[in-house]
């Protein structure tokens, strides 16, 4: 069968210097292609395709199946794309975080979709395509939901070690960018799936709460393959790359034995690790680690059920700094226990002093425990979306505080962190390439424009 996988366009008029490949679609494309199907990927953001132009890029009858993906924040774009693509193929299917966590809401907004796949789809897609090709009923397959026939999320997910490499060759790989990248082209990787922690704001509905990791040798092999394919930098987007420190050390050992041939970054929880592990990361080519701090006080960490201690966080930041790793820290504004204008996150960010900080507004997503809590609450404030400089969707809504208060706190936090003369001088002195300089300048322009209300 002929399959087209579509990453829908960005919201109208929105551009970004943060544009990463849709790795989930690339995995699905690889699985379907390996099963003998004819597969293409249409990554609209990377190709600069806007919604008004989408119809012209997909010829009617050119595909048997069109598959859409999207997050909850992309609900409007997914619905608009489905309306355009509904008559372009025999079947229109959808998956991803939005379809998995909120199928009833999805079907109510996106009427053109024939079915949803709930959960990880690599094991299911070849069987689903064969079922549709035969004309059999797909609702008998685990994880497949129809408008009038709900289905549970498909569990367990596939063993990530048994998956083929994602079909990066189907993507416009030179078009991707990240404001903190020091070289191009960039790739993304996943070395594990699932997360066993219970943060209240996190939607784990797609990959679940069972951590499944790839073998270190397989991870190293893929990174070396990226080097051979021409990539200069890769971003590892595991929920916690350091979840198993021994495994992380083995990956570093393999990279060191290969000469640390590629620059890379990863994400991790700032919990107690051996200081030597951070030094090993650096020797293996890791240049940046992103820590999910998410709150500005111990009370806030407890509210989010982070399972972290402020003293422990500070020790991990110190260890990473002493290992000469750049640090990106994530913070969330709008917690019930942290009044926004008290600026707890900014104060803690200044104390931790990461190289970069990203501030976002707390919002509940379907599939998170916070979503279930908020659905039963009386709304004391009018919920208006607050769009931050790092947001690509319609913005974030919060039930605890008015939008104008959140926006003011968000602006004060970004300006308070980035507009320090000493910080700006230090950042410019640390620039190591024209790619990195360009990314930082574009990020600064976007932040300034957002702060002035121009975006």
Residue 407, domain CATH: 3.20.20.70
Q: What is the pLDDT of residue 375?
A: 82
Q: Which of 86, 121, 145 marks a domain boundary?
A: 145
> Are residues 139 and 259 located together in one domain of the fold?
no
pLDDT in tens, 336-380: 999 999 999 999 999 999 999 999 999 988 889 998 888 877 565
Q: What is the pLDDT of residue 392?
A: 63
> Are residues 141 and 42 located together in one domain of the fold?
yes
Percent above pLDDT 90 for the chain = 72
> Are residues 141 and 184 located together in one domain of the fold?
no
447 belongs to a structural domain: yes
pLDDT band at 454; cut points 50, 70, 90: very low
Q: What is the pTM of this model?
A: 0.93
392 belongs to a structural domain: yes
Strands 2-7 and 63-69, by their bridges, are parallel
Which token pair is 215? 């073998």
pLDDT in tens, 94-117: 999 999 999 999 999 888 899 999
Question: Which structural domain, as residue segments, surrounds residue 374?
Answer: 178-451
Contact 412, 351 (CB under 8 A): no
pLDDT band at 8; cut points 50, 70, 90: very high
> Are residues 88 and 190 located together in one domain of the fold?
no
160 belongs to a structural domain: no
> Are residues 234 and 311 located together in one domain of the fold?
yes
Q: CB-side exposure of 343: number of CA atoms within 13 Å?
A: 15
CA–CA separation, 302 and 300 (whole Å):
5
> Are residues 382 and 240 located together in one domain of the fold?
yes
Partners of residue 333 on adjacent β-strands: 361
> Are residues 241 and 299 located together in one domain of the fold?
yes
Q: What is the pLDDT of residue 84?
A: 95
**Average pLDDT, integer, range 179-208:** 91
Partners of residue 212 on adjacent β-strands: 193
> Are residues 125 and 238 located together in one domain of the fold?
no
Cα end-to-end span (Å), the chain? 43
Q: What is the pLDDT of residue 14?
A: 63
Q: Which residue has the higher pLDDT, 439 or 177?
A: 177
pLDDT band at 13; cut points 50, 70, 90: low
Tokens 């390439």 label which residue? Answer: 433
pLDDT in tens, 301-315: 999 999 999 999 999
Q: What is the mean pLDDT of the chain?
A: 91
Q: What is the pLDDT of residue 378?
A: 57
Indicate if the pLDDT at residue 252 is higher than 50: yes
> Are residues 134 and 193 located together in one domain of the fold?
no
Contact 172, 46 (CB under 8 A): yes
**Number of compact structural domains in the chain:** 2
Contact 261, 224 (CB under 8 A): yes
> Are residues 320 and 439 located together in one domain of the fold?
yes
Stretch (H or E) spanning 193: strand 192-193
307 belongs to a structural domain: yes
Q: Which of 145, 169, 194 marks a domain boundary?
A: 145
pLDDT in tens, 387-420: 777 776 666 788 899 999 999 999 999 999 999 9
**Average pLDDT, integer, range 131-139:** 94
> Are residues 414 and 320 located together in one domain of the fold?
yes
Contact 58, 88 (CB under 8 A): yes
> Are residues 102 and 216 located together in one domain of the fold?
no
Residue 95, domain CATH: 3.40.50.280
Cβ atoms within 10 A of the Cβ of 383, count? 14
pLDDT in tens, 27-45: 999 999 999 999 999 999 9
């Amino acid at each position: 069968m002929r399959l087209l996988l579509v990453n829908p366009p960005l919201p109208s008029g929105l551009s970004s210097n943060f544009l990463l490949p849709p790795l989930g679609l690339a995995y699905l494309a690889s699985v379907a292609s390996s099963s003998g199907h004819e597969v293409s990927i249409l990554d609209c953001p990377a190709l600069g395709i806007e919604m008004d132009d989408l119809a012209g890029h997909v010829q009617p009858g050119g595909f048997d199946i069109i598959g859409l993906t999207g997050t909850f924040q992309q609900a409007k774009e997914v619905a608009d794309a489905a309306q355009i693509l509904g008559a372009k193929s025999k079947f229109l299917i959808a998956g991803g975080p939005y379809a998995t966590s909120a199928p009833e809401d999805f079907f109510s907004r996106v009427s053109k979709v024939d079915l949803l796949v709930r959960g990880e789809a690599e094991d299911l897609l070849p069987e689903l395509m064969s079922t549709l090709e035969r004309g059999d009923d797909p609702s008998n397959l685990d994880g497949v939901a129809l408008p009038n026939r709900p289905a549970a999320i498909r569990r367990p997910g596939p063993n990530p070690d048994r998956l083929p490499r994602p079909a990066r060759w189907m993507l416009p790989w030179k078009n991707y960018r990240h404001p903190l990248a020091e070289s191009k082209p960039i790739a993304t990787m996943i070395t594990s799936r699932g997360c066993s922690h219970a943060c209240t704001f996190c939607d784990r509905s797609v990959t679940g709460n069972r951590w499944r990791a790839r073998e270190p040798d397989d991870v190293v092999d893929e990174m070396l393959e990226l080097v051979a394919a021409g990539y200069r930098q890769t971003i590892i987007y595991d929920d916690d790359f350091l979840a198993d420190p021994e495994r992380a050390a083995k990956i570093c050992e393999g990279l060191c034995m290969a000469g640390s041939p590629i620059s890379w970054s990863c994400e991790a929880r700032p919990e107690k690790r051996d200081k030597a592990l951070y030094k090993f990361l650096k020797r293996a080519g890791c240049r940046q680690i992103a820590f999910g701090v998410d709150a500005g006080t111990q009370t806030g960490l407890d509210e989010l059920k982070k399972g972290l201690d402020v003293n422990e966080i500070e020790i991990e930041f110190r260890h990473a700094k002493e290992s000469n790793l750049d640090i990106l820290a994530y913070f969330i504004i709008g917690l019930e226990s942290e009044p926004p204008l008290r600026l707890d996150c900014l104060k803690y960010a200044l104390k931790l002093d990461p190289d970069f900080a990203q501030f976002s507004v707390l919002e509940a997503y379907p599939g998170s425990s916070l979503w279930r809590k908020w659905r039963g609450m009386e709304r004391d404030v009018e919920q208006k979306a607050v769009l931050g400089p790092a947001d690509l969707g319609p913005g974030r809504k919060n039930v605890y505080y008015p939008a104008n208060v959140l926006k003011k706190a968000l602006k004060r936090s970004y300006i308070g962190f980035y507009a320090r003369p000493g910080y700006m001088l230090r950042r410019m002195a640390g620039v190591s390439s024209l790619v990195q300089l360009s990314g930082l300048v574009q990020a600064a322009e976007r932040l300034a424009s957002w702060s002035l209300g121009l975006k």
